[in-house]
Amino acid sequence: MSAYPNATATAATATDAESADPCCAAPLPVLGRDVTVPLVTGGEVTYAALDYAASAPALQRVWDDVSAYAPYYGSVHRGAGYLSQLSTDLFENSRVTVAEFLDCRADDQVVFTRSTTDSLNLLAAVLPADCEVFVFETEHHASLLPWQDARVTYLNAPRTPAQAVETLERALADRDPYGPALVCVTGASNVTGELWPVKELAAAAHAHGARIVLDAAQLAPHHPVSVRELDVDWVAFSGHKLYAPFGSGVLAGRSDWLQDAEPYLAGGGASKKVARRADGGVDVEWHTTAARHEAGSPNVIGVYSIASACKALTEAGFDQLVAREQHLVDTVRAGLAEVPEVKVLSLFGDDAPRVGVISFVVEGWNSSHFAAALSAEYGIGVRDGLFCAHPLVRTLLGSDPQTQGECGAPEAAPGEKSLNAIRVSFGAGTPDEHVERFVRAVKELVRDGAQWKYRTEDGRCVPDRG
């Protein structure tokens, strides 16, 4: 980026605020850290964004890098002009940066997509004929649903990491040993935050002749991800969860299935040569590089924002970031443990390692009502619902209906009881004050109740301003 004025200068800002003590270190600066929001009870407060698992705020570093590049914006790959060539270099160098961030193998391909969902749908589209897919019911819908055109075996939710490996091994042992197979697994749950035994699952998959794809949407923003060390065949993640906006994602890994399949999208960029035939048809020679599945004009700014975020996290040092996040996790879990009415959701138990994602329910409260009160009365943004992981949340909640409260729970399907939970999530941009305010708010709401009345509007619980 030395070709862009001030671009290299912005790169140094990512770690300036870091301290030697991980428990007290300032977070990486993010956009929106000074935004204030009104409270229904009067006054304003700095917004506490605690919904990182849905979309993390963009790093200030990312925004500065993108702003420095923006005047040089140009189309990539097919332009002769200076800006086009410069943008092409930036685009392809971003591919190298992502490969380094993921510690990819030399012959792996990095394909840029729109999101984790898009990445996994791309992989589903290139599966070999008769490929059998194995996926746990605990997956986010992005990694649970794309395989429905294949032969899919859905595996029950395990209750320990060892049980996850045993469950997969039993399922793989019963498959046709000569046909292609793929295992899809998350690195960190978007509901419980718990880390999955990815390396052990990869070993089990390979021992039975299967391949494995890692959904790293919730893992990559919090922990280093090494394709080599984990020995996964592919990894997918989203920029908007990695502190990078603009709707880009990544699918990185082995190239053979990608090269053997028809392009995910047909169009310019994916095609290497197109010619009319004598019979009036068209012959197409497709690229064998990552471009084969990147038809159309790519999202250059989105791709560069991912590369910038990868650099910022690497330069900040994952050891320090992980240690500080663990401090925040411990703060939240200790605070919630002091409230008997709070039940934290978990598959693997209290001692399981986890990232900054915690879901819970509160006795006597509907989760939508509780989340609305956190926002309206404390300026805290969390998530409520089933978190696009309906089978998992239903398994964790069991069959106990929630208290209706002043706002009813989301409508249930016929024959089902209404269930939902609250999720708090945080990361490298979260100040200590935000999680401390959250813990204090939970205790006050449980002890004193909401200060305001709420009603259901368009399926959401909102303050009653009537």
Question: Residue 388 catalytic?
Answer: yes
Q: State the virtual CA torsion across 262, 301, 83, 75 in degrees, nearest 10.
A: 30
Q: Are 323 and 23 in contact (CB under 8 A)?
A: yes
Place of tokens 């990361």: 427
From the candidates 131, 310, 388, 407, give the one annotated as an active-site residue: 388
Q: Are 133 and 181 in contact (CB under 8 A)?
A: yes
* Beta strands 151-155 and 181-186, pairing class: unpaired
Find, among 249, 190, 188, 250, the residue nearest to 219 by Cα: 188
Task: Specify the length of the chain in residues.
Answer: 466
Q: Are 432 and 25 in contact (CB under 8 A)?
A: no
Cα dihedral across residues 111, 355, 399, 163: positive or negative: positive
The count of other CB atoms within 10 Å of the CB of residue 13 is: 16
As annotated, the active-site residues are 388
